[in-house]
Amino acid sequence: MKRFDPMLESLYARHVNAQWVRVLELLQMNETYVRCEGAELFTADGRRILDFLSGYCVHNVGHNHPRVVEALKDELDRCGPAMLQSHAPETAGELAGRLCSKAGGRLTNVYFGSSGSEGIETVIKFARAHTGRAGILHAAGSFHGLTCGALSLMGSSFWREGFGPLLPDTAQVSFGDVDALAAHLSSRRFGAFVIEPIQAESGISVPDPRYLEAAQALCRRYGTLFVLDEVQTGMNRTGPFLAAHHFGLEPDMVVLAKALSGGLVPSGAVLLSNEIHDSVYNSLSRAFVHTSTYSENGLAMRAGLATLDVLEDEKLGERAAAVGKYLCRSLRERLSGYEMVREVRGLGLLLGIEFQAPRQFWRRASFDALDRIHSGVFGQMLVMCLFRQEDILTQVCGNNLRVLKVAPPLVVTEGQVEQFIGAICRVVEQMHSSMAFWTEALGLVSRLANV
């Protein structure tokens, strides 16, 4: 039996976000979750749902990992100092030391915040302070967060509309275009080039490694800081601790968040070089010139330390690399004959399946009809079918609605991987061979039209 509490549901809709509740209802995804463990979510009406989204790469160690939960309980039980704003928390020092030694290169210092967006705001400020240049360059297709500074580094008009004017002195270059990057950087206007080493929300875009190497070299040549946003790709999501390690990069700053605290406490970190740190905090009077109240909070620090222990002890980086390779290869093999599957790509357990318009006549007519109404309907149909028919939770990418994200917790088991492969194959087969998928899609469209 689904536990339905109309009072609570209506309070959420009334006081938090009614549109979100309506979206979930339309997609028939408004479940009540009662327990979440590893890669599994259990609902009030007895369903067991497999999580292949991980809250957009938050749950690398799995939901409610017992060691992270235990660390948080210990922290609460010890009644230690919290938010004194008058001491130097030891756990912050310990976590910073471990993050820097795992990241390597020139990263020796850490600023802790509470989210990925706050990390992006921080790198904008630090780049300006260190270089004396106002300009910040970013790549088309990126997703860096929704606060005003972070939003200024996103090209997509969907996220920006209605919130301007945003930060001046920002510019965008095509992802992967070395010449365009060189042309911009040579103006010497830019303090930082901020880029995701693998763009997640643009559709799991893995660049040519030579592009990132060239980007770093160009940044060095023109005095621009090379900044990696590893909010989704970091914490072993793609195998190594940072995606930067695939490409042998030595960034000046790296932004981490999401999986940093095991998915249980808001947390974020900017890893930076000593030189950048010193140019921001350059006198006693500037010791707290950039900070925030919940920065370095005890629960986030303890959760971060426990998360690193789990990643190391359970060898989740190696696991992400091996399982990701198997999953990617299997999906390529099993989905290769379907005309609507364009490509399966990614690294480690950050994978995407890109779909395309069909050529076959009746499928094309239905696809085009959906696309005309909203470019997102096809992707949401896919997500809905996986959820309703196969008990799999996933989503399409935020800036590319035709790419299905495949990003389970790194603790995902072989059996769960096989379950996902079987499920996606059945849904893809259904969209190619029966009218049911398309009839259902038109049903979704008519529900949308009636809202």
Ligand X SMILES: Cc1ncc(COP(=O)(O)O)c(C=O)c1O
CB nearer ligand X, residue 234 or residue 358: 234
225: nearest Cα among 154, 111, 127, 118: 127
Cα separation, 434 vs 427, in Å, equals 10
Minimum distance, C-beta of residue 365 to ligand X, in the bound complex (Å): 35
CA separation, residue 389 to residues 50, 135, 398, 429 (Å): 12, 49, 23, 13
CA–CA dist 235, 284 (Å, integer): 33
The CA–CA distances, whole Å, from 174 to 137, 186, 239, 270 equal: 11, 16, 26, 25
Rounded least distance, CB 20 to ligand X, Å: 15
- The least distance separating ligand X from the CB of residue 231, rounded to whole angstroms, comes to 4
Minimum CB distance to ligand X smaller for 242 or for 257: 257
- Contacts with 214 (C-beta within 8 Å, 6 or more apart), sequence order: 178, 181
Secondary structure class of 84 (helix, strand, coil): coil
Strands (E), 222-338: 225-229, 253-256, 268-272
Nearer to ligand X, 75 or 229 (CB): 229
Complex with ligand X: residue 300 or 417, whichever CB lies closer: 300
Would you say 56 or 281 has its CB closer to ligand X?
56
Q: Which is nearer to ligand X, 108 or 395 (CB)?
A: 395
CB of 259 to ligand X, least distance (A): 11
| C-beta contacts of 315-319 below 8 A and 24+ residues apart | 316/60, 316/61, 316/236, 316/410, 316/411, 317/236, 317/239, 317/240, 317/241, 317/410, 318/239, 319/410, 319/411
- Min CB(59)–ligand X separation in Å: 13
- Which CB sits closer to ligand X, 234 or 239? 234
Shortest distance, position 200 Cβ to ligand X, whole Å: 6
Report whether 340 contacts 355 (CB < 8 A). yes
Closest CA to 115 of 144, 138, 155, 86: 144
Least separation in angstroms between residue 400's CB and ligand X is 13
Residue with Cβ nearer ligand X (395 or 419): 395
**How far apart are CB 439 and ligand X at their closest, in Å?**
34
Task: Give the DSSP H or E segment for 168.
Answer: none
Q: What are phi and psi of 23, to 5 degrees?
A: -60, -50
Based on CB atoms, which residue is closest to ligand X, 194 or 381?
A: 194
Cβ 340 to ligand X shortest distance, Å: 26
Contacts of 153 (CB under 8 A, 6+ apart): 120, 124, 136, 138, 142, 144, 170, 194
Return the closest-CA partner of residue 194 out of 105, 261, 119. Answer: 119
Q: How far apart are CA 91 and CA 219, in angstroms?
A: 34
CB of 255 to ligand X, least distance (A): 7
Contact 242, 127 (CB under 8 A): no
**Single-letter code of the amino acid located at 113:** G
Which of residues 253 and 340 has its CB atom nearest to ligand X in the complex? 253
CA–CA separation, 189 and 423 (whole Å): 50
Taking CB atoms, the residue at the shortest distance from ligand X is: 116
* Rounded distance between C-alpha atoms, residue 113 and residue 115, angstroms: 6
- Of residues 295 and 366, the one with the C-beta less far from ligand X: 295
Nearest to 176 by CA among 217, 216, 139, 231: 139
In the complex, the residues that contact ligand X under the rule CB under 6 A are 56, 115-117, 120, 143-145, 196, 200-201, 229, 231-232, 257
Q: Identify the three-state secondary structure at position 37.
A: strand
Tell me the closest approach of the beta carbon of residue 10 to ligand X, in angstroms. Answer: 27
